[in-house]
A and B are shown apart, each in its own frame.
Chain A
């Protein structure tokens, strides 16, 4: 007998099979173009950062940022729509699918989306010679942590709101700042002391530092367990929130 969480994952994958072409550009082609234009173009003026070429330095950051953006982007309209427009979650609720199965099945789907994008991206990165350490094999694991740490709370947020205009706030005040100040394009040490806690509070910064540690084989600024711990806190808190938000939304 198939577990409900698998049935939920299958449903999302089936829907994705119809829509995947539209996502290839933003999830796969765009990050690569980004890497090439900034890494090569800007890199020529920047020279070396942290002892490596600029492209090799930003590649792990762009990878983590891609994982972050795919996870956040997926977990907004699609989740709200499942309650508000298509009512797919109400259909699951009438079947013996429990809220935890819905959340878990959804996060597994986001993980799948992120891993596909990240593995393709790492392949391209490797072709540019930007993977400098055997630890690079750990980069997809880091991407998975970033994806879950971002998708869980955003999914919960999307399940809590009534109108999609709240997403504009999320993009403007959470997603864009946490991308800009997360050490993707420049080391956070260059930020004024007062602004740095912003980076520390962003799950993306922890992901960027971990993936940089992986692809370049250098030690991250904090101990690995501390970065992983921060990401896990976002993930666990997000899951708790999401289960509560789904339950509340489907209750009455």
Chain B
């Protein structure tokens, strides 16, 4: 009898404290872990992504970004911890969740033997769209991807940027609640990247929730409202790009290069935080020009001086002691 009462009370408690439908986060992780044998890819992370947010995972290769994305995409099962996507459990309700996700994987998986339009319509059919609806949706997405004039072209000869745009357009085919982009611009030339960013920015403006991974600082700064910095499977910092820079860096950074191999850190002490790298010395300062003046006043003669805005790269360096791009 006592057991029965406990069960009833348990369910009532569940109802009372269940998350409200309106404000529940689209993604919620608590102590999320992914192990492959002995290797710990994701080592107990907590995060929440709200509706309408552009959320980023920033980190080097092997930081656990893609593993986390694959768990959110319900194609990889968590080893332990709690994960809710769109309020559902990925282990039990994978297909229902995937029906409302858009996924742009790191490796293109377009059908190379189908043409551009057929790639969109075929994918639309996987989501249960009628033929007529699939064709209409394909036309809308061709325009979004700026591929109208390539609609009848096979995928194989398209440029890398076009393929990426098509993959992203394909991910939008079911009008998803949440779009997952795993390194959307890796391997693209600068022009193609900017075009892609512009498209993603349009999605964001339209209210689409984006979750993306990147190892490009400029990408994270361009696209993300909020991001987590990952390293070795853990989250080492979280915040908006601006707040991370404010917390872990200074507004400006001076890059000094010296012709000689000598260690100049001692002479630089007191001007700002000094970070000697193999090829240059970073000097963190609120006012870069004033710092440079002080360097010269102390009689140092660097062979080159660069004053720049602080970036997430500096944040990453400060947090992990390593540069992000090898």
Contacts and interface: CB of A to CB of B under 8 A. Distances in A.
B236 interface: no
Contacts of A7: 122, 125-126, 128
Interface string B91-113: 00001101101010101111111
Interface residues of B, number: 31
B118 interface: yes
Contact of B118 (A14, A91, A251): A14
B128 A1 contact: yes
Chain A at the B interface: SS class = helix
B76 interface: yes
Nearest to B109: A87
Interface in B96-152: 96, 98-99, 101, 103, 105, 107-114, 118, 122-123, 125-130
A86 B112 contact: yes
A251 B67 CA distance: 12
A94 interface: yes
B17 interface: no
Interface stretch (A23-31, A95-103, A187-195): A95-103
B109 A251 contact: no
Given A93-B75, A94-B103, A250-B75, A11 B125 contact: yes
A101 B19 CA distance: 33
Interface residues of A, number: 28
A2 B73 CA distance: 22
B109 A95 contact: no
Nearest to B73: A94
A11 B111 contact: yes
A96 B95 contact: yes
B176 to A, nearest CB: 11
A19 B114 CA distance: 11
Contacts of A229: none
Contacts of A4: 126, 128
A15 B268 CA distance: 66
B76 A252 contact: yes
A248 interface: no
A164 interface: no
Contacts of B73: 94
A91 B128 contact: no
Contacts of A250: 75
Contacts of A95: 98-99, 123, 126-127, 174
Contacts of B101: 94
B203 interface: no
Interface string A68-97: 000000000000000000111011111111
A87 B122 contact: no
A87 B107 contact: yes
A95 B111 CA distance: 14
B71 to A, nearest CB: 10
B75 A14 contact: no
A90 to B, nearest CB: 5
A95 B122 CA distance: 11
28 contacts: A2-B125, A7-B122, A7-B126, A7-B128, A8-B126, A10-B125, A11-B111, A14-B114, A15-B113, A18-B114, A19-B113, A86-B109, A86-B112, A86-B113, A87-B107, A87-B108, A87-B109, A88-B111, A90-B105, A94-B98, A94-B105, A95-B99, A95-B127, A96-B126, A96-B128, A97-B126, A98-B95, A250-B75
Interface of A: 1-4, 6-8, 10-11, 14-15, 18-19, 86-88, 90-98, 250-252
Give 7 closest A-B pairs by Cβ, nearest first.
A87-B109, A7-B125, A95-B126, A94-B103, A96-B99, A1-B128, A91-B109
